[in-house]
Amino acid sequence: MKTDSLFYEIFQTDPSIVFDLIGRPPERNVTYHFASQEVKQTSFRIDGILVPPTEAIYLPIVFVEV
């Protein structure tokens, strides 16, 4: 996430901000992990992915594009 480093830092610090932006309350007592992942293809990178803890299989994975 070189071009969007400000957003990366913000979401890395507080992933719950993404839920505020999409108008959905974050799940209680769940801390998402934010990371920028590259998809195996010619330089295609998703800005970020919010991944819930492994024990919270009922929660969605959230893809972030800014």
Domain boundaries along the sequence of the chain: 5-64
pLDDT confidence bin for 1, thresholds 50/70/90: very low
Quick check: 56 pLDDT over 60? Answer: yes
Question: How much is the pLDDT for 39?
Answer: 66
Residue 19 phi/psi, 5-degree rounding, is -65, -35
2-55 residue pLDDT tens: 557 888 888 888 888 888 888 888 777 778 888 877 766 676 777 888 889 888
11: exposed, middle or buried (Cβ count in 10 Å: 0-12, 13-18, 19+): buried
Residue in this structure with the two tokens 């195996």, named with its chain if needed: 40
Question: How much is the pLDDT for 28?
Answer: 73
Question: How much is the pLDDT for 18?
Answer: 85
Positions of E strands within 1-66: 33-35, 38-39, 44-45, 48-51, 62-64
